Amino acid sequence: MKIKINPYIKYLIIENIYYILIAVLLVVSIFVIPSLMLNTYSKNADNISVLEKELQEISSKKNALLFLSSTSSKNIDEYYNLVSSLIPETENYFTIIYSLNNLSESTNFNITSYALNLKESTGNKISIQVTGVGNQQEFLNFLKEYNLGGGRLITAESIKLNSEEFAGITLKLNFYSQKASLSQQGSIDYQKVLNKIDKIKDKIKFNFQSNANEEEIVIEEYPTKTSPF
């Protein structure tokens, strides 16, 4: 059955055919254009954010390296050697004994024996039971300096102080080793990292300096150990 269209309506449709075509295109574009454009916009925004993070990381590295190359007093090997001596790549018992000896000399707290605590040692942590002799001030000096004073990172998970037992006090100290990884997690401000190491270095330097100053006095008070064995 043929649909009968009023001639006037037919005339109006023909007269407005461009508007009708535009309307159809518009309906299609309403569904296509905004989603396409917004999709492109959000993709670009994601790419920009990823690139900015990468660039921040790269710039941070570049600036840190430029800073190191522009100052004659600092070089990357010095920083690398310092962190590597604090936390060596592999465990080295000699450096443990050497750092305890350093501590003993700088604080006057005389370490008399060491014993490996296998139960509490792990792959990258060596727990050592240390027994030492000293007066309250010497013991407190030791507690003040044991973290970095020996040239290695040392921690003690708990410390008991008994004012009556300074002679023959026993401490459990932890030494760490860790293979330096090359993986990068998150963005790192390398300049901040170098500043942190500078602070650590200052502490160690301070201890070494105080060692040098105290050396003469120490010799008079009690014989210091020059050999770790």
- Backbone φ/ψ region at 151: left (φ over 0), alpha (ψ -120 to 50), beta: left
DSSP code for 131: E
Decide: is 8 part of the binding site for another protein (CB under 8 A).
Answer: yes
Question: Are the C-beta atoms of residues 102 and 86 closer than 8 Å to each other?
Answer: no
Place of tokens 């001596």: 85
Choose one: 11-19, 97-105, 210-218, 220-228; the region binding another protein (CB under 8 A): 11-19
Q: Is 133 exposed, middle or buried (0-12, 13-18, 19+ CB in 10 A)?
A: middle
Question: Are the C-beta atoms of residues 194 and 157 closer than 8 Å to each other?
Answer: no
Choose one: 55-63, 95-103, 107-115, 210-218; the region binding another protein (CB under 8 A): 55-63
Contacts with another protein in 108-167 (CB under 8 A)?
Answer: 125, 140, 143-144, 147, 153, 155-164
Considering only residues 180, 219, 221, 222, which one is a binding residue for another protein as defined by CB under 8 A?
180
Decide: is 83 part of the binding site for another protein (CB under 8 A).
Answer: yes
Per-residue binding letters, 24-53, with another protein (x by CB under 8 A): --x--xx--xx--xx-xx--xx-xx--xx-
Decide: is 210 part of the binding site for another protein (CB under 8 A).
Answer: no
**Least distance from C-beta 229 to another protein, angstroms?**
27
Question: Are the C-beta atoms of residues 219 and 101 closer than 8 Å to each other?
Answer: no
Q: Mind giving me the DSSP string for 108-120?
A: --EEEEEEE-GGG
Nearer to another protein, 77 or 219 (CB): 77
Considering only residues 91, 193, 208, 214, which one is a binding residue for another protein as defined by CB under 8 A?
193
Query: 92 in helix, strand or coil?
Result: coil
Decide: is 22 part of the binding site for another protein (CB under 8 A).
Answer: yes
Question: Are the C-beta atoms of residues 107 and 130 closer than 8 Å to each other?
Answer: no
Considering only residues 5, 10, 77, 135, which one is a binding residue for another protein as defined by CB under 8 A?
77
Taking the CA atoms of residue 76, residue 93, residue 229 and residue 206 in that order, the dihedral angle to the nearest 10 degrees is 40
Closest CA to 114 of 90, 150, 82, 141: 150
Q: Give residues in contact with another protein (CB under 8 A).
A: 8-9, 12, 16, 19, 22-23, 26, 29-30, 33-34, 37-38, 40-41, 44-45, 47-48, 51-52, 54-55, 58-59, 61-62, 64-65, 68, 76-77, 79-80, 83-84, 86-87, 125, 140, 143-144, 147, 153, 155-164, 174, 176, 178, 180-184, 188, 190, 193-194, 196-197, 200
